Amino acid sequence: MELALKHIDMGFSLKDVHQDDLNDYLFVEKISHSKYIFENSEFLGEYDEQILKDAFYDRIKMTFFKKILLNNEIVGFLSYDKKVNKIDNVLLKIMPKVQNKGIGTWFLQELKKYSVPIFLVVIKTNPAQNLYKRLGFEVYEEKNAFLFFKYEIVISAL
């Protein structure tokens, strides 16, 4: 399934991520998540750019890794890895200036269409957890500075 961003009329688009997008990825990561890393530094340590670089190159190998553009400016990144019976490594990195525009909701709703369990992790102080809860994700584990969420497909008996 190829995702098509429904926010095109608002100037948003999705494009494939390439290795030369690394600096933009690091910038978006720093702007959108450094606050949460700092708030949880006792568990996460200091901001470590090498860890983020390694994560970027790991994501390039995943099923889906796209950059979000607003009028040709990179404002976020989305990724996931589709396995036979689940989706994991879900990533939503969205710049504050374009948060609360429905992109995260749209992305997660699209993932639900695969009809397999979805797994994601969020830093405890990140308010994105409210989005996940609103969309039916449940915390299945809490460890140090992280909440581990799962969306389980519910099949109703008719």
Q: According to the model, what pLDDT value does residue 6 have?
A: 56
CA nearest 64: which of 150, 125, 5, 151?
A: 5
**Angle ∠(144,149,91) on CA atoms, nearest 5:** 95
Q: How many CA atoms lie within 13 A of 35 on its CB side?
A: 9
| Partners of 146 in the β-ladder | 123, 143
Q: According to the model, what pLDDT value does residue 40 have?
A: 64
CATH superfamily for domain 8-151 = Gcn5-related N-acetyltransferase (GNAT) (3.40.630.30)
Mapping DSSP to helix (H, G, I), strand (E, B) and coil, where does residue 93 land? Answer: strand
Q: What mean pLDDT is predicted for residues 76-83?
A: 95
Q: According to the model, what pLDDT value does residue 87 have?
A: 97
pTM reported for the whole predicted model: 0.86
Report the residue count for the chain.
158
Mapping DSSP to helix (H, G, I), strand (E, B) and coil, where does residue 82 land? Answer: strand
Q: According to the model, what pLDDT value does residue 1 have?
A: 47
What residue spans of 5-152 are helical by DSSP H? 22-39, 41-44, 49-60, 103-112, 128-134
Terminal Cα-to-Cα distance of the chain (whole angstroms) = 27
Domain spans of the chain? 8-151
Q: According to the model, what pLDDT value does residue 153 have?
A: 82
